[in-house]
Amino acid sequence: MLDSIRKTEQEFDVALAAAASHADLEALRVRFFGRKGGAVHALFAELKAVPAERKKEVGEALNQLRDSLEARLREKLDASAAEENARKQARSSIDVTLPGRTPSFGSLHPITIVRREIEQIFREMAYSIDPGPEVETDWYNFEGLNFTPDHPARDTQDTFYLGPELLLRTHTSNVQIRTMEKAAPPFKVLSAGRVYRRDEITLRRSPMFHQVEGFFVDRGVHFGHLRGTLEHFMRRVFSPDTEVRFRPSYFPFTEPSAEVDISCPFCHGKGCGTCSKTGWMEILGCGMIHPQVLRNCGIDANEWSGFAFGLGIDRVAMIKFGMPNIRTLFENDLRVLRQF
């Protein structure tokens, strides 16, 4: 019987040394201390058969075996649980010395950058900002602006019609009529937004583009005010040494009318590939508001006068950012847009 006890202890030693995981230790516990078939339990069962004079000695040896085995198993189980805990903590803990992750911010579209810049320049000159509607009636887009129904200039603005009366505005000049109809002068208004014409998509043209319209109506406004305003505007948007040149032109809603060129921002007037060796770039159209347009809005053209100008935001963005193709602005390629 004492031999069996020693043998059981040796077997336990070997098994305990081999146990590598918590599951191994659990299996060991069942093997030695299980109520059914556990080795220690079996030895206690054999105690009944031991002669009375040796019972005390064997009983003490058995108790010792059970206590010793239990203590060693408990020790190893505790160590294993502590190790498991440490591993869990290592997995969930935060390393405060790691560099932070930079959140990714969006950037403004080049059109938005230029539009805001232009709006800011005119806000500083006390203009109010009014984007106006993109869906418009014939009156606000054409007739109020002196494009009579059979006016040939209508052909230069190939229009998207949404019905017999409704259309997509072909310019931001609709805001002129809307403003002048509902209030009394003086006005200083800037309007920037999308406009639409049935154009083919080319390097310079798109059926949808962005325009800025500005107009100023007051007593005694003359062409000199227009020239001064546009010179200031162009020098703020491009560079302070920008030269401005006026060429006579024609628009139904201004008289006199002019096209404005700026000295080429790339070669500063010397002539390069971008300006076709002329040193100048066409940038906007302008003029004194036609007296008939003022009268259309119920304004006395003998008392009030004004100027108006319009230009493409897309064109300004292309020149400012050196883009040769207008499509670059509308393709929404993130690799391009993230540069701004």
Q: Which residues bind Zn ion (CB under 5 A)?
A: 264, 266-267, 272, 274-275
Query: Is beta strand 208-218 parallel, antiparallel or unpaired with respect to 187-196?
Result: antiparallel
300 CB neighbour count, 10 Å cutoff: 10
Q: How far apart are CA 154 and CA 130, in angstroms?
A: 25
Q: How far is the CB of 315 from Zn ion (least distance, A)?
A: 15
Cα 117 versus chain centre, distance = 19
Tokens of 51: 């002669």
Q: How far is the CB of 238 from Zn ion (least distance, A)?
A: 12
Question: Residue 255 — left, alpha, or beta (φ > 0 → left; ψ -120 to 50 → alpha)?
Answer: beta
321 residue type, one letter: F
- Residue the block writes with tokens 């810049």: 117
In the complex, which residue's CB is closest to Zn ion? Answer: 264
Q: How far is the CB of 271 from Zn ion (least distance, A)?
A: 6
| Residue 153 or 267 having the CB closest to Zn ion | 267
Q: How far is the CB of 270 from Zn ion (least distance, A)?
A: 7
Q: How far apart are CA 330 and CA 314, in angstroms?
A: 10
Q: How far apart are CA 9 and CA 91, in angstroms?
A: 38
First to last CA, the chain: 89
| Residue 262 or 313 having the CB closest to Zn ion | 262
Buried b (16+ CB within 10 A) or exposed e, 204-229: eebeebbbbbbbbbeeebeeebbbeb
Q: How far apart are CA 326 and CA 210, in angstroms?
A: 11
| Residue 56 or 270 having the CB closest to Zn ion | 270
| Residue 26 or 243 having the CB closest to Zn ion | 243
| Residue 73 or 275 having the CB closest to Zn ion | 275
Q: How far is the CB of 293 from Zn ion (least distance, A)?
A: 35
Three-state secondary-structure class, residue 101 = coil
Q: How far is the CB of 334 from Zn ion (least distance, A)?
A: 31
| DSSP alpha helix (H) spans, the chain | 2-18, 22-33, 39-46, 52-92, 110-123, 138-141, 174-182, 223-237, 291-296, 313-321, 327-330, 334-337
Q: How far is the CB of 274 from Zn ion (least distance, A)?
A: 5
| Residue 213 or 261 having the CB closest to Zn ion | 261
| Residue 112 or 274 having the CB closest to Zn ion | 274
| Residue 42 or 272 having the CB closest to Zn ion | 272
Q: How far is the CB of 282 from Zn ion (least distance, A)?
A: 12
